[in-house]
Structure 1
């Protein structure tokens, strides 16, 4: 896709990870920043349109290349056996890499971590939720078509033979953001999901939100769960509007 002339795209390696950095050419350096994770079978190049829209609203978007994708390798992404073996290990390794990446972003761009959001779509949303759970200084989470309840998602995936081994299940339980619900209940999170999602069923994220409300005894003031009616596993302009409206309030 051709990049608009108003958008600047840099290729950087941050903590050894290939990244695209997308921003508005006319903006200064003191930009609020979004670390955005792409989905399964995607690459950082495929985020151009999404990133360019956010750049137009004066956000810097950093897209790390996820392991086994793009510059970091390829897989047969449609093979159920490959998904079962590599999906969760890809998610967990990306979460493990995030702390070092975050430190590199803060140092390179001289940022306050509270001015940084972590976001993702699909697999990227799983990564973002795990990274947000483990890194308490990040400003906000934006999860699109993913889940903050990994074990619940694993149970749903198991029906489709996509869970993987018992070892993977133990890893999921260890990293599952829902285990950190006491901390997450007080932190800003935007959860967006299509009600007709056939890839990551909405029940995976709805379960997390219901558990969060039950824990708090009421709807948490800094958490918004948006169910987009009749939408499958996609990002629409309406979803983009929700994201921008959220960031303008919660990314300081």
Structure 2
């Protein structure tokens, strides 16, 4: 009995401290991983639809020394994808007091629109959006790129990203704006998302069945898995994934695993989907794309679903020695084929 009395205070201290430590560790993880960056890695300083280039370390990739596996279209022919005569717009997110900043090109009333959704800490000035939008603009499509909330020139909500849990509303806001302000036909509006933008677009596709056509570039399908993988990517112990999710609920009232992008494939019905992912991608691993593709083929109309997985790694030197990248790089390594596939997909699914 005496031993129990002596041990009890230590036991009580552990009971109190362990959950507190768990929460504090989760808070550090959540605040770091969910933090935003409105600077957009220097893209706003250098890129507009009229003139842009993919950047690495804020240096145009086409100025790289000793480039490897980067197409000539990127190294010497980028200007063919620039789109001039664009307009700017500010779009209100109804009921939230937020405003989204957009650039758009409306060139033909009778042509479909495609909405482009950027990735985490990205923006509308990222060439990963401007390049494929330029491909479609060259084919006569109307295109719009915009900044999600807490990104770029759009309103700051809480200075955090939610992996699409909140941002999907922004996609639908732009979709509705095209219908209300530009008389767009809902059946002729496609969605393109890359990385977190693909996850965000997939959630929107799940929750609003008016969306008929979606292109998912290097996106994630499983929220639980991507949270753990993001921790690993940023150098945190992966066992803190649950702590980070818990802290998000307490700190910001944010449930990071409320909506899963994979549901876009489960609920696809007779709609159109294209999944593209590089096999060596370490930022968002290819198993996410494979899972999305397999689920879509199982639940949808195979004639309306296409998947493209291939080896794709670029190497470059922009002043810091040779570096490599494998995330969202198929458009840089296989530019001509990428252009053919994206134009064909949206032509067949929207026209």
State TM-score, norm by structure 1: 0.81
Distance 1:178 1:42 in 2: 22
Aligned equivalent of 1:227, options 296, 309, 320:
309
1:57-72 to 2 correspondences below 5 Å = 57-72=139-154
Unaligned segments of structure 1, at least 5 residues: 75-84
Q: Deviations over 1:122-166 (max 9, x none)?
A: 111111111111111112000001023333433433544485323
Question: Which of 1 and 2 has greater Rg?
Answer: 2
**What secondary structure does 1:70 align onto?**
coil
Aligned equivalent of 1:113, options 181, 186, 189:
186
Aligned equivalent of 1:30, options 110, 114, 117:
110
The question of whether the paired residues in 2 share the 8 Å contact of 1:117 and 1:139 is answered with yes
User: Which residue in the other structure is 2:290 paired with?
Assistant: 206
* Cα gap change, 1:59 to 1:99, in 2 (>3 Å): same
**What secondary structure does 2:121 align onto?**
coil
1:67-146 to 2 correspondences below 5 Å = 67-72=149-154, 86-87=160-161, 89=162, 91-146=164-219
The question of whether the paired residues in 2 share the 8 Å contact of 1:185 and 1:220 is answered with no
Aligned equivalent of 1:10, options 87, 90, 96:
87
The question of whether the paired residues in 2 share the 8 Å contact of 1:38 and 1:121 is answered with yes
The question of whether the paired residues in 1 share the 8 Å contact of 2:206 and 2:263 is answered with no
Moved more, 37-46 or 175-184: 175-184
The question of whether the paired residues in 1 share the 8 Å contact of 2:117 and 2:171 is answered with no
The question of whether the paired residues in 1 share the 8 Å contact of 2:277 and 2:309 is answered with yes
User: Which residue in the other structure is 2:75 paired with?
Assistant: none
Distance 1:6 1:35 in 2: 15
* Cα gap change, 1:226 to 1:167, in 2 (>3 Å): farther
- State the shift of 1:200 in Å: 0.5
- State the shift of 1:207 in Å: 1.9
Structure showing greater relative contact order (alpha-carbon pairs closer than 8 Å, 6 or more residues apart): 2
**What secondary structure does 1:17 align onto?**
strand
Distance 1:221 1:6 in 2: 32
**What secondary structure does 1:20 align onto?**
strand
> How many residue pairs are counted as aligned between the two chains?
236
Moved more, 182-191 or 241-250: 182-191
The question of whether the paired residues in 2 share the 8 Å contact of 1:38 and 1:123 is answered with yes
**What secondary structure does 1:30 align onto?**
coil
The question of whether the paired residues in 1 share the 8 Å contact of 2:85 and 2:105 is answered with yes
Supply the RMSD in Å over aligned alpha carbons. 2.8
Aligned equivalent of 1:21, options 89, 104, 115:
104
Q: Deviations over 1:65-97 (max 9, x none)?
A: 1122211379xxxxxxxxxx944x152221023
Distance 1:182 1:123 in 2: 19
Distance 1:148 1:239 in 2: 22
